[in-house]
Structure 1
Amino acid sequence: MGISFCKKCKNILPPTNSKENIFIECLSCGLNQKIEDKTISNEKIYKKIEKGAGIANEENVYATYENICGKCGHNKSQIIDLGIKYSDEDNLIFLKCGKCGFSERIGRKTS
């Protein structure tokens, strides 16, 4: 059922149910009108977008560096640079496997 407006005061007419018929009644001025014709409502049905669509596997898309994982043998890793904590240290650089997520530290070891 569509939205109807009062012919007198131009307010929205809410439908009210009777035992026999359906009426629309204006709450402001009291105008009653019987609904006799069939109402047709059109509604667009949108396809629900599935969350995570397009992710076919669990591989890390940022793993582009050629490195063989010490745990699973996968040949791509992500480079993660954590920077330095103190001025006399080297950067902390890790390689994270693109398949299993195993991380290993690379670079010079200080201490």
Structure 2
Amino acid sequence: MIDSRSSPRSNVSWRAAILVSAGNIVPAKILNIAGMGIQLQCAHRLVDGQVYQMMMEVPGPRDASVRAQVVCKASCNYTILSGSEYRAGMKLTEVPAEHQGLLGNWGGRAVTS
């Protein structure tokens, strides 16, 4: 299979949380990042095309014990059932300027809002 991403995919294992509705936050796990996109896994089915507020715990590229809580928004491109949980492809949006470089270090290119 050919990977058509403009940036290489980096496999990761980061904790995350997604606001799926008012007052309903579900835990998630970020599986990989490539440019402005991530793939995550969670127990809740996300809706294609919907924008979600989320938080990711992103380790520093030089010291994994230093973690930044990145609060951003992400648009759901797809959701598929994988075993007993869902995998979703998300496009990151509204990433704070102070975290764009950090995510760019992991994702292969600078992430912008």
Larger % of strand: which?
2
Kindly indicate whether structure 1 or structure 2 has the higher relative contact order, using CA contacts under 8 Å at least 6 residues apart. Answer: 2
Shared topology, TM-score over 0.5? no
Q: Scaled by the length of structure 2, what TM-score is found? A: 0.22
Q: Scaled by the length of structure 1, what TM-score is found? A: 0.22
Larger Rg: 1
Larger % of helix: which?
2
